[in-house]
Amino acid sequence: MIVFGALVMTISGEILVLLPLGGYFNVWTVILTFAGFSFCTGFVFPNGQAGAITPYPHMAGSASSMLSCLQMTTAAIVGAGAARYLDGSVMPMAWTIFWLGPLLLVSFYILVLRRPEPVPAE
């Protein structure tokens, strides 16, 4: 489910950048492509959290807290980076979303798929 969500997020991000660059910019091109991106976060976030907590059932609260802290910290850094390039258009948000999908896919491959053996429970 994470790979499916990340692929649709990547495709939505690419469409969100390509349509305005191609001259097709209106409220629906932004809303529909961002809705596809947002919809797929429902596939990625819950499964990612379950996968992060599963190896550590004896400290699920601490693992969940650490994951949420990392998520909010990353969101603040990415949001501040996107805000740095605000120019009154949708393009800073579009370029940010454009890179988040592929970054998610690469991170998931490096951290999870490349190492298929489960982490031993302590």
Q: How far is CA 99 from the centre of its chain?
A: 9
Q: Which among 81, 87, 78, 89 is positioned nearest to 29, based on CA atoms?
A: 89
pLDDT recorded at residue 121: 58
pTM: 0.76
Handedness of CA 80, 69, 31, 24 (dihedral sign): positive
pLDDT recorded at residue 112: 81
Positions in the chain short of pLDDT 70: 116-122
